[in-house]
Amino acid sequence: MEQIVIMVGGMSCQGCVKNVTGVLQALPGVGEVLVSLEAGEARISHDPAQSSVVALRAAIEDAGFDAG
């Protein structure tokens, strides 16, 4: 497993945190997901052979947030 931190823009509440967490956890090869509203980031443990960084960012953006 590889860990990556992606900055997430547009989150304003814990509902946003749950939304981002849910879309990331639904991807294949994703293990632990820790989303911080205060830091504006998502820490994701994933298998790069199953979920690329591009796919992780796309999932965040498809949920209506900015992935930096």
- Find the distance separating the first CA and the last CA of the chain, reported in whole Å: 21
- Sorted by where each starts, the structural domains of the chain and their CATH numbers stand as 2-67 (3.30.70.100)
Q: What is the mean pLDDT of each run of 10 residues along the chain (68 residues)?
A: 96 97 97 97 97 96 95
Give long-range contacts, CB 8 A cutoff, 24+ apart: 60-64. Answer: 60/6, 60/8, 60/20, 60/23, 60/24, 62/23, 63/19, 63/20, 63/23, 64/10, 64/19
pTM equals 0.93
Query: HEC states along 19-43?
Result: HHHHHHHCCCCEEEEEEECCCCEEE
